[in-house]
Structure 1
Amino acid sequence: MNYLNNPNTKFAIILALCLAAFTSCREEEVEDEGLPLPVISLQETSAAKNFEYIGSIEGVESVEIRPQVDGILEEIYVDEGEFVEKGQPLFKINSQPYMEDYKNAMANVNLEKAKLEKAKSDVERLQPLIDNEVISEVRMKSVKADYQVALSSLQQAQAQAANMRINLDFTTIKAPVNGFMGRIPKSIGNVVKKTDSEPLTNLSNVNDIYVYFSMSESDYLYFERAKNDKTSKKNKVNDQVKLVLADGSIYEHGGKIDANSGQIDRSTGSITLRAKFNNPDTLLRSGNTGKILMEEIYPSAILVPQSATTFIQDKKFVFILDENNVAQRREIITKGRSGDNYIVDSKSLSPKDRIVVSGLDKLASGIKVKPIQRGQLTSSL
């Protein structure tokens, strides 16, 4: 039997040929349109490049509390971490020996006062006799000299008494500033001395805080030149800085660099700078650490998403599209990062270039792309 003469067989063959031709046309149509991938058009925009430096945090007023007299620690009026006000008692040293010294000094003052009164009385008693030439002036000079000796002795005794009073007052140690108490290594009953290497505690006023950080000599020179350059087209260094806390969050209050050490450390080749931050909620304490973020402002920059780049060894590449939407791999030179984007040298890319931003694993040079337009990158500031 000849199957080719069968009408049903002929119809099946014709249908199969039509489907094959249709499928081939569809594949050619898809192939002609290219691989659909997200694409962005580049443009010049302002951007900020961050520089990070490790910093240590201290209160604006950070005071070591040390005893001014020796003795047994009798009372501790506050606890570690407690906020205290200026003039508030913190510690009490046994005052009995200093009270006795003060009493003895006051007794000596009273004795010298009595001697002065006697010398004054002698002068007043002899003055009429001198006036009437009953006794010689030589005797009067001797009496007046005794009076001056008694006056000087009283003043010396008063000074000693004042010193004893100061020592007595030093037995109560008070807060010199408002702030938070640090660790208290001593306990009641311990002997404390003026010569102790370790302070009784540290007191920090943290309504404002300082962050100290170091940068290399080359960075310092670069920032100083950028800061002082008045040309508007040049990159600028923002004099406002940010603080990254230990948990990775950005501190809500901005700061400003207000001082530097004034000299380069020869052993490290670095210079220490200081930034000041408001700390109204007293979240930050002396001893905290963080990172200072300094920003270099680019008035005109070309930004490329990090996700749009590939790496071959130590080089970065992007895929750009030509006028026929054919992808070409191009090496780029970056100047740093701004958020999730690279700041690209204008010699690598130009404004209005189109680059593929995802699906790079499917691409190679020469592949045609059907652009899915994603718009343009805007300022990261």
Structure 2
Amino acid sequence: MRSCLKFAGMAALALMVAACDEQKEAQPQASAQQQPQATPVGTVVLKAQTVGLVEEMPGRTVAFRKADVRPQVDGIIKERNFTEGGFVEAGDQLYMIDQAVYMAKLDAAQAELAKQRATLDQATKTLARYEKLIKTQAVSEQTYDDAVAAKAQANAAVAAAKAEIDQARINVEYTTVTAPISGQIGASSFSEGSLVTANQTSLLATITQLDPIYVDVTQAGGRLLKIKQAVQSGRIQGVETGNIEVSLIIDATGVEYPHVGTLQFSDVSVNETTGTVRLRAVFPNPEGVLLPGMFVRGQVRQGKLEGAFLVPQKAVMRRPDGTAYVYVIGDGKVVAKDIQIEQSQGSDWLVTDGVADGDELIIDGLQRIAPGAPVSGLPAETPKAAQ
């Protein structure tokens, strides 16, 4: 009987020891389950740098100079001396208007001048004789005064005849219609045999200078004001009036124009309808690639910003109120930071406030984390970070 009780006690003791061992093994496992594992995320280390401000603005090309050719005298077109669509130099003859009538008027004016000069010569000689006779009172003072007046009238008539010759000669010159500027000439609205008049509203042709060429872009008035204030405060450096470079992207092809332009001026008023300000740049156009009226995008270099950060756009998130923020790693955990965005730079945002030099920015795995979550950062270029 005693041996049976002894055996039962030993069995109970063995069960109690086994239960304690199982409890000890379960405690580390429960502790491991309570501590979540760090989530691997892709990161990049931010570095403060000096970044050039490049503002992309919509715009259109505008002819550097444009001249409408119109007749200045009446007549029949006898010749047209240019090829439509070709290049003409300033002073080239474009049209010849029948000048027979104007040559006849010039001849008549020259004859009138000769007549008036003869009258002046006669009046001069008469006055000279009377000047001698008046001293001996051989002629009356009235007769002498009439001689003086006759010479003065003859002088005026000669001057008027000279003016008529000048007018007639100008009209003869106007019968030759020349190019006022150099450039590409368009289609001719009139051909040989057409009657044209000096006061007609219809133009003969249009000449457009394409090299160089203007590009008008528009920028929000408020944005331009902020940039000017930043320049005045010294936050933006490297802005020199008349030396601001502009690059161009042609909308039709999406290709960057090979030549760089220079900003000429900005309007002094804001458009009341759109709230924008027009900026005008001039570009070289030796190949004639740019034509007036083309839609383009101008990239205007508006100085440099020191101590800024280029943050990948995919790393930036926004709240319902529009404020932007990013996730960085601090003490092995996710930390949210509000940021101030200046503008876009390609696939990056230009950030001026909210992050610091050396911050480990999370750019991959954002959908798997939240503020305060433990994470382990991996370089974004590694395959794991890309996943």
TM-score interval for Structure 1 and Structure 2 normalised by the shorter chain: 0.7 to 0.9
Provide the TM-score with structure 1 as the length reference. Answer: 0.73
Partners of 1:190 and 1:256 in 2: how far apart? Answer: 44
Equivalent residue number for residue 26 of structure 1: none
Equivalent residue number for residue 155 of structure 1: 159
Q: Give 1:156 shift.
A: 0.9
Partners of 2:42 and 2:331 in 1: how far apart? Answer: 16
Alignment of structure 1 residues 118-267 onto 2, 5 Å: 118-130=122-134, 133-229=137-233, 231=234, 234-236=235-237, 238-239=239-240, 240-246=244-250, 247-267=253-273
Partners of 2:352 and 2:249 in 1: how far apart? Answer: 32
Q: Give 1:131 shift.
A: 5.2
Partners of 1:107 and 1:262 in 2: how far apart? Answer: 57
% identical equivalent positions? 24
Q: 1:80 to 1:237 in 2, by over 3 A?
A: farther
Structure 2 residue 55 is matched with structure 1 residue 48: no
Long gaps (5+) in structure 2: 1-35, 383-387
Equivalent residue number for residue 70 of structure 2: 66
Alignment of structure 1 residues 1-381 onto 2, 5 Å: 38-130=42-134, 133-229=137-233, 231=234, 234-236=235-237, 238-239=239-240, 240-246=244-250, 247-279=253-285, 283-296=289-302, 297-308=304-315, 320-324=328-332, 334-344=341-351, 346-347=353-354, 349-358=355-364, 363-365=368-370, 366=373, 369=376, 371-372=378-379, 374=381
Q: 1:200 to 1:219 in 2, by over 3 A?
A: farther
How many positions carry a matched residue from both structures?
A: 338
- Say which SS state the counterpart of residue 335 (structure 1) adopts: strand
Q: Is the 8 A contact 1:237 1:295 kept in 2?
A: no
Q: Give 1:68 shift.
A: 1.7
Q: Give 1:328 shift.
A: 7.2
Partners of 1:321 and 1:225 in 2: how far apart? Answer: 35
Partners of 2:341 and 2:269 in 1: how far apart? Answer: 32
Q: Give 1:130 shift.
A: 4.4
- Say which SS state the counterpart of residue 164 (structure 1) adopts: helix
Q: Is the 8 A contact 2:99 2:175 kept in 1?
A: yes
Q: 1:197 to 1:227 in 2, by over 3 A?
A: farther
Q: Is the 8 A contact 2:46 2:309 kept in 1?
A: yes
Q: 1:184 to 1:329 in 2, by over 3 A?
A: farther
Provide the TM-score with structure 2 as the length reference. Answer: 0.72
Q: Give 1:87 shift.
A: 1.7
Amino acid at match of 2:106: Y
- Say which SS state the counterpart of residue 112 (structure 2) adopts: helix
1:13-33 Cα offsets, whole Å, 9 max, x none, are xxxxxxxxxxxxxxxxxx989
Partners of 2:292 and 2:380 in 1: how far apart? Answer: 51
Q: 1:305 to 1:123 in 2, by over 3 A?
A: same
RMSD of aligned C-alpha atoms? 3.6
Q: Is the 8 A contact 1:77 1:89 kept in 2?
A: yes
Q: Is the 8 A contact 2:71 2:177 kept in 1?
A: yes
Q: 1:73 to 1:208 in 2, by over 3 A?
A: same
Q: 1:39 to 1:265 in 2, by over 3 A?
A: closer
Partners of 2:364 and 2:80 in 1: how far apart? Answer: 65
Partners of 1:302 and 1:342 in 2: how far apart? Answer: 8
Q: Is the 8 A contact 2:82 2:94 kept in 1?
A: yes
- Say which SS state the counterpart of residue 296 (structure 2) adopts: strand
- Say which SS state the counterpart of residue 353 (structure 2) adopts: coil
Q: Give 1:43 shift.
A: 1.5
Equivalent residue number for residue 10 of structure 1: none
Equivalent residue number for residue 5 of structure 2: none
Amino acid at match of 1:274: R
Amino acid at match of 1:294: V
